[in-house]
Chains A and B, each alone.
Chain A
């Protein structure tokens, strides 16, 4: 099955199953990407994992994207799933508003999500509801901001001793 057929068949299944919670399906390069509403994300993931014939049993990665200009949908959460038997990979995406950055945890479906979600919480401040231990994982506990959000600069803007524009920074 090529990726376009895969996209169409999953699109139909998700539409039938989740109706209004399903937003759109698209091809991103060679990847089928499905966007759903956040209130259905856990059901969609568990449907994709457990349904006969789909069986996306492997969570390759999970990450958060910050788009500060996209009003009302500033934070994206992306799950990349893999079915090793049929060797198919898909992405599932959902968007959160910056006023309510809560999303149900996927760590009950994949233990792998446990640390990935802690990392995304650590760097973007997205709260994964129901996570068994949602604490910072890489940064120190005392840190009081989320460093991968776009509003936090790479370096202290008041410094003038590090001028290396010629290297493209």
Chain B
């Protein structure tokens, strides 16, 4: 192949540009810095600095009783705090050897799946926003608000929920909460369909995400990927099925799996993961 940078007449040395993206660039959700090595508009290397919002939870946790550590777990991923709360509760329950009532486990599953939906709404709509599809973001985000209203009814908080207690839940679902969940379940499929029809087969969105940042299955496993990002790479593994916790074995759900592990697959795995849970 002819070396484009070395013609007979002149010799041009390849020059890369160094670009600092962040720490507070609007496209870096959550503050981190990327020092990029650019070949024109193509990123050839990146050095991320990830510590800007490290809050020393481990050190703080060493000094607190177990129940006071739950609010710290809210902040691990504030898009789906309840799942982190439950993870902590289950850890302590295993440590002290405590049996959780079935009803509490089912309420936990409801809460966790609602928060999974809220989290996936954020991921899927924000990628739309970042690729220029603002409309989908504005409409579908209403549903996230409804989920937070349900959380508010159950535990009094919206974002950083501190929901549930070690050994069960703090209280049963109220009538208002069950009504809100029922309304949500009725309204959600239509909003989801609307969003899907706006984005999924959208030419511009597909052009910008398909074959963008593909990660193979081997690479995903070697780098320790889990969850939707692992499944997008084509690995059929979901901990809810492989090692059911919190009575997940009593529920039926389909696990969507991707092919190429590119941005489009990571999007599709999430959008297909919402609203698929059914009790036996």
Beta-carbon contact of A139 and B54 below 8 Å: yes
Interface residues on B, range: 20 to 34
Beta-carbon contact of A169 and B50 below 8 Å: no
Q: CB within 8 A of B62: which of A59, A112, A123, A154?
A: A154
Q: How far is the CA of A112 from the CA of B215 in the complex (A)?
A: 14
Q: Please, what's the 1-or-0 string for A1-42, where 1 marks a CB less than 8 Å from any CB in chain B?
A: 000000000000000000000000000010000000000000
Inside 8 A of A59's CB, which chain B residues have their CB?
A: 224
Beta-carbon contact of A138 and B68 below 8 Å: no
Any B CB within 8 A of the CB of A87: yes
Q: Report whether over half of chain B's contact residues are helix, strand or loop; otherwise say mixed.
A: loop
Any A CB within 8 A of the CB of B26: no
Q: Report whether over half of chain A's contact residues are helix, strand or loop; otherwise say mixed.
A: loop
A67 smallest CB distance to B (angstroms) = 13
| CB pairs A–B below 8 angstroms (30 shown) | A57-B221, A58-B221, A58-B224, A59-B224, A84-B235, A84-B237, A84-B242, A87-B242, A87-B243, A110-B222, A110-B223, A110-B224, A111-B222, A112-B222, A112-B223, A123-B58, A136-B51, A137-B50, A137-B51, A138-B50, A138-B54, A139-B54, A140-B51, A147-B56, A147-B59, A148-B59, A154-B63, A167-B68, A168-B64, A168-B68
Q: How far is the CA of A87 from the CA of B239 in the complex (A)?
A: 10
Inside 8 A of A87's CB, which chain B residues have their CB?
A: 242-243
Inside 8 A of B56's CB, which chain A residues have their CB?
A: 147
B162 smallest CB distance to A (angstroms) = 15
Q: Please, what's the 1-or-0 string for A46-79, where 1 marks a CB less than 8 Å from any CB in chain B?
A: 0000000000011110000000000000000000
Q: Please, what's the 1-or-0 string for A145-160, where 1 marks a CB less than 8 Å from any CB in chain B?
A: 0011000001000000
Q: How far is the CA of A152 from the CA of B128 in the complex (A)?
A: 45
Inside 8 A of B51's CB, which chain A residues have their CB?
A: 136-140
Inside 8 A of A147's CB, which chain B residues have their CB?
A: 56, 59
Beta-carbon contact of B223 and A154 below 8 Å: no
A122 smallest CB distance to B (angstroms) = 8
Q: How far is the CA of A57 from the CA of B64 in the complex (A)?
A: 36
Inside 8 A of B224's CB, which chain A residues have their CB?
A: 58-60, 110, 112
Any A CB within 8 A of the CB of B15: no
B230 smallest CB distance to A (angstroms) = 9
Q: CB within 8 A of B60: which of A57, A111, A123, A154?
A: A154
Interface centre among B58, B60, B94, B223 (most CB of A within 10 A): B223
Q: How far is the CA of A136 from the CA of B222 in the complex (A)?
A: 22
Contact flag A111-B68 (CB < 8 Å), given A137-B51, A148-B58: no
Q: How far is the CA of A111 from the CA of B215 in the complex (A)?
A: 14
B172 smallest CB distance to A (angstroms) = 28
A108 smallest CB distance to B (angstroms) = 11
Q: Which single residue of chain B is at the shortest CB-CB distance from A109? A: B222
Q: Please, what's the 1-or-0 string for A106-144, where 1 marks a CB less than 8 Å from any CB in chain B?
A: 000011100000000001000000000000111110000
Inside 8 A of A136's CB, which chain B residues have their CB?
A: 51
Q: How far is the CA of A57 from the CA of B65 in the complex (A)?
A: 36
Q: CB within 8 A of A29: which of B54, B94, B222, B237?
A: B94
Interface centre among B56, B68, B224, B242 (most CB of A within 10 A): B224
A150 smallest CB distance to B (angstroms) = 8
Inside 8 A of B243's CB, which chain A residues have their CB?
A: 87
B223 smallest CB distance to A (angstroms) = 5
Q: How far is the CA of A140 from the CA of B223 in the complex (A)?
A: 24
Q: Please, what's the 1-or-0 string for B33-55, where 1 marks a CB less than 8 Å from any CB in chain A?
A: 00000000000000000110010
